Amino acid sequence: KRREKELRSNLCGQGSDRSSMATGANGNLVRYDDTWHIMDDANKAPAGSEVSLCRIDTRSSEYAPEGQPGAGPKAWWSKSWIPFNYRVVEVPSGDLLNPECDALVFGHLEPGSPERSDAMASPQRRLVVIDEKVHELYGDRVRSYFTARGVAHELLVLDTVEENKSIELTLEICKKMKKFNLDRRREPVIGIGGGVCLDVVGLAASMFRRRTPYIRVPTTALAYVDASVGAKNGCNFLGSKNRLGTYVPPVAALLDSSFFRTQGARDISNSLGEMCKMGIMKSEELLGLLEKHASRLIADRFQPQSKDDTVPSRVLQIAIETMLEELTPNLWEDCLDRLVDFGHGVGQCLEMDSLGLNVELMHGEAVATDMSFMTVLSNVLGHLSDSDRDRILGILHNCGLPTYHPVLTRDFFKVAMEDRIKNSLGMRLPLPVGMGKARMFNDVTDEQFEATFVLWESLCKHSTVSVAKSKAGAE
């Protein structure tokens, strides 16, 4: 009963400051005798009633015939606020698959909460969706973990690569959820893998019975700071990246950086693309750390060099916190002016168009290529100094990221920018205006883009990090 009441309370947004912004007025829905009632004066409700911040406003329909303002057709304006609460939880490196750590079973529940206490006193079951390559490396440890903790479990192993990121793959997960007979309130699905795995698991969970809780366990450095942090999930559709998807966050993202040890150097460099994005947009401290330590972060796979070495954890934590700062107040992207879109103006199209080529780009590499172009654009527009421009380009290069790509031609850019303008209702280009500082810009002219191309090519074409014939990643 307590849990049901809390779920109702969360659904209607009791006690939230945002509700007044979402509804424009106080709520007028009151629940007593197990029934909801429209009641404009909640003070008249019986003692012990539950008052919601949601509301229903009833008016005459604008299509009602004249002369029938009260008795004719009506219109109801339903105003609801649906909050999402989720945890992003780091565990000490190497602890997540240690059976002595309970994070994989209970880490999605607030420590000390009645829900966590109830769960710890009850039998547990888990469905785990795990990437094929991750399964080869960690599958036995995942099984041993749940066996040691007495958790009934099944593993669904899938080849979750970008080329397979489809609705068909998503439905395979839904089928398994149905066969597992999942309790959609108490048995969150666990996704273990990189960004593709976490995205399709999230989409499947958001569709199955309209919303089933799920947990993200990123095993790549890129997913650790990107896919695991926000609310979005999705799959590719008709050649477009993440064209199908929802805004339903996990109940938790559980983070363990020891997974990075089995990644290649190119994979780590790829993750630095998203970290550089947040540094360029919001954090000069993060940029400085990457500028100074990128080479050893790549070589050491973000593992500390001593017990007093806080650089790897500090880089990861700043990247996560700055991302959360931008995502949390705009979870459903009601505002399309988003600093986290830096590198994504044409970067996503660039990533998709390079698939299958001998110069195929990973996600962070495509983002970095876009960022290099947009950095030069800001310089051309007069918002970024030559020295800051060159410093940003140098940091990207030192992170092992490309700053130029042959697919990014003028013709490609024109089509990709048209797609950007259509889907974002304008250019809405986040551009750096200093180190760790950014602003949004619109209405860049064709002449300014052309000047950018000329300068960008002269600065980056012959000095970029090569991605040719290295799809498998360099060690």
Report, as residue numbers or ranges, the catalytic residues: 232
| Whole-angstrom distance, CA of residue 269 vs CA of residue 242 | 23
- Residues 6 or more apart whose CB falls under 8 angstroms from that of 171 comprise 204
| Whole-angstrom distance, CA of residue 92 vs CA of residue 95 | 6
| Whole-angstrom distance, CA of residue 179 vs CA of residue 372 | 47
Amino acid at 283: S
| Whole-angstrom distance, CA of residue 439 vs CA of residue 118 | 47
429 within 8 A of 343, measured Cβ to Cβ:
no
| Whole-angstrom distance, CA of residue 2 vs CA of residue 20 | 26
| Whole-angstrom distance, CA of residue 470 vs CA of residue 475 | 10
Q: Name the token pair of 18.
A: 């945002």
Query: Measuring CA to CA, which residue among 397, 378, 399 is closest to residue 388?
Result: 378
From residue 220, alpha-carbon distances to 57, 264, 459 in Å are 48, 10, 31
From residue 207, alpha-carbon distances to 22, 98, 204 in Å are 25, 32, 5
From residue 79, alpha-carbon distances to 51, 59, 84, 247, 275 in Å are 14, 14, 17, 19, 37
297 within 8 A of 279, measured Cβ to Cβ:
no
206 within 8 A of 236, measured Cβ to Cβ:
no
Q: State the sign of the Cα–Cα–Cα–Cα dihedral 226, 230, 234, 239.
A: negative
- Identify how many contiguous H helices and E strands the chain contains and give both numbers: 16, 15
45 within 8 A of 39, measured Cβ to Cβ:
yes
| Whole-angstrom distance, CA of residue 461 vs CA of residue 347 | 17
329 within 8 A of 290, measured Cβ to Cβ:
no
